Structure 1
Amino acid sequence: MTTPTIFVIDDQETVRKALGEMLSVFGFTVETFDSADRFLAGYDPIRPGCVVCDVRMPGTDGIQFVREQARRGFGLPVILISGHADVPMAVEGIKAGAEDFIEKPVDDAELVGAINRSLTRASESKLTQTAHEGLAARFARLTPRQTEIFDLVAAGYTSQAIGAKLEISARTVESYRAAIMEKMQAESVAVLVRQAIRLGRLEP
């Protein structure tokens, strides 16, 4: 698995250097940028990580950056850092999708804690997304008839009731159910029901 990188964006060189050195001491891989525009122009979306970004900068500011990186589908957690007068802007950034904001002067422990929380949430979100994509891919392999029976089983119909509804034998329904369970990698009807909910096929 690729090691996450902490991307520090600040137009002040002294701030960039101080944050970069501090985070490196804590074991993070760090890259620094003097503007959000420069980061957006060069970032490779396959690279995992977290962004520490100043709120008030020339060009694209921190809030605009939060919105733009999300619009591009980067999905990076963003921690905004702000001076006292910028706190209302930072709160606006949270509303726009930033993970956290920290006031300057930045407390080392507070920033490291925020980064670790953000990376953990991002990792969990990625695992959830991957699991859902796998579930959706398995569901897509069902035939139209299997999909029909999947929905009926998830809705609580017995094999006999499904057979009567579809005008096929209960034994045929059981055969379909077995194939569905295998394709969906569901070891029980309860698992199938939970899958139906996750797929939006059934109201929880």
Structure 2
Amino acid sequence: MEDANAALREVMAVALEDVEGWDRVTRRLGELGRLEEATVAARADADAAPDDAGPWLRLGRLLEWGCGYTAAAEAYRRATEVEPENVDAWRSLGHALLFDTERAGSPAGHRPLRAEAAAVFRRAAEIAPQHPKVWLNLALAVGGEERIAVLHWWVEVQPENADARGILALELSRSAASPEAAAAAARQAVAVAPNDAWA
């Protein structure tokens, strides 16, 4: 109860236009496990700073926990509109689309969302091709030969990334297309990072 009262005092002390204050309140309520109130505070934070992607990203994360991916995707979409070059906004939107089973309804209904997620992750890769996760995100959104092609691109863009090479080796070993190619990719992953998990 004491924590709740302290959080309430914090909320009451925040001016509506005080972006940093709303951020503090949002974080504190989230720490207390009070997601509904944290979401209200996050919406106020986003409304107070409509041209800043940060509050929209925080709102999206809270919505993921409390309301699901459909609601979160809308907040992330707003973050991409506010800051079109923000790779985290694009990646968050892609994740929400990829995991939005509520809106998909069925495996067949999920295909359009996967395609949209793939397009979103492609945009993230255009913005930040050296980001350590954008290529993996894109690979998760596509399947089959396209997934292998994406993993090859990841290795080309980040040749020293042992994870890229290791994941490519795993995917090649699953595809049964070429055991030799899988073995070669695994050897390259070990060569790049001999002390890593791939070794």
The TM-score normalised by the length of structure 1 is: 0.23
Higher RCO, Cα 8 Å, sep 6+: 1
Larger helix share, 1 or 2: 2
Q: TM-score, normalised by structure 2?
A: 0.23
